């Protein structure tokens, strides 16, 4: 596949490797924004993927009758192939290859909505705490807001240099085993940087970078679309112990299980 020229400067590449994150002023074309928002709103409105366990409340107990505090859809491009046609996807891959190496590939996407006025915070965490405990990753998340992202509606915060830390112990948000979302046990956020973005801009962070997004205190929704890119993962001889997954009883898991059984 021929990719558009990526435009990271040597300084930007060095910044990413030193700080563990990077801000891109524009990744999504201005002309793609309205379309992207429309597709995004459509799948959240329909709670697309709920039956399979791919739509759920990241920050709450995910009960059917209650509005979700932090709705998430996993693999939205599976349900809305329009996302695959965004030029931002190719551009993000090209940029990622500059950061991680030529063997980097798209490994998945997700979408996190913070509803207007009450969308919950996304507590401090490292993305790898969600992944396979037996693998070593070299990966990034490319986080794109489909409207302006501000401190008031839930833009990302990063702890510079935290991509070089070990993976820290995590627990379910609020220590509630019904909640899918994770929170790091301990962190000192005093050195964190806040990264507001224009619509269609992006932040890129490493899979170990400690990050956070505040609650949505505004009257507009905060839409974020996230693409993950990685180089081939390596099996660890000494796997981590992600004990925080072992006592989970999420309704998302139950739906996923029931769906699998139905499919045979």
Residues in touch with Ni ion (CB under 5 A): 127
CB of 215 closer than 8 Å to CB of 104: no
Is the CB of 38 or the CB of 185 nearer to Ni ion?
Answer: 185
Is the CB of 151 or the CB of 257 nearer to Ni ion?
Answer: 151
Is the CB of 89 or the CB of 211 nearer to Ni ion?
Answer: 211
Is the CB of 55 or the CB of 127 nearer to Ni ion?
Answer: 127
Q: Minimum CB separation from Ni ion for residue 211, in Å?
A: 6
Q: Minimum CB separation from Ni ion for residue 247, in Å?
A: 21
Q: Minimum CB separation from Ni ion for residue 6, in Å?
A: 23
Q: How far apart are CA 119 and CA 64, in angstroms?
A: 17
Q: How far is CA 190 from CA 36, 157, 185, 227, in A?
A: 35, 11, 16, 28
Tell me which residue has its CB nearest to Ni ion: 127
Q: Minimum CB separation from Ni ion for residue 203, in Å?
A: 11
Q: How far apart are CA 159 and CA 21, in angstroms?
A: 9
Q: How far is CA 45 from CA 39, 105, 154, 181, 231, in A?
A: 10, 30, 20, 21, 34
Q: How far apart are CA 137 and CA 132, in angstroms?
A: 9
Is the CB of 131 or the CB of 146 nearer to Ni ion?
Answer: 131
Q: Minimum CB separation from Ni ion for residue 193, in Å?
A: 16
């Amino acid at each position: 596949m021929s990719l558009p020229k990526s435009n990271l400067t040597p300084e930007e590449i060095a910044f990413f490797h030193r700080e563990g994150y990077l801000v891109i002023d524009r990744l999504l074309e201005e002309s793609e924004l309205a379309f992207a928002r429309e597709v995004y709103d459509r799948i959240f409105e329909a709670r697309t993927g709920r039956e399979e366990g791919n739509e759920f409340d990241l920050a709450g107990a995910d009960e059917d009758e209650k509005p979700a505090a932090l709705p998430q859809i996993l693999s939205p491009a599976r349900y809305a192939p329009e996302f695959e046609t965004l030029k931002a996807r190719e551009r993000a891959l090209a940029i990622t290859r500059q950061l991680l190496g030529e063997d980097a590939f798209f490994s998945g996407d997700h979408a996190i909505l913070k509803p207007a006025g009450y969308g919950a915070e996304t507590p401090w965490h490292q993305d790898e705490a969600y992944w396979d405990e037996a693998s070593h990753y070299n990966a990034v998340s490319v986080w794109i807001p489909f409207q302006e992202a501000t401190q008031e509606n839930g833009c990302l915060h990063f702890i510079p240099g935290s991509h070089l830390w070990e993976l820290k112990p995590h627990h379910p948000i609020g220590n509630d085993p019904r909640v899918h979302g994770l929170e790091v046990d301990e962190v000192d956020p005093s050195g964190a940087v806040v990264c507001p973005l224009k619509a269609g801009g992006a932040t890129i962070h490493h899979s170990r970078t400690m990050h956070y997004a505040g609650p949505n205190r505004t009257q507009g929704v905060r839409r974020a679309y996230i693409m993950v890119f990685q180089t081939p993962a390596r099996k660890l001889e000494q796997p981590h112990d992600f004990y925080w997954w072992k006592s989970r009883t999420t309704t998302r898991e139950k739906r996923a299980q029931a769906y699998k059984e139905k499919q045979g």
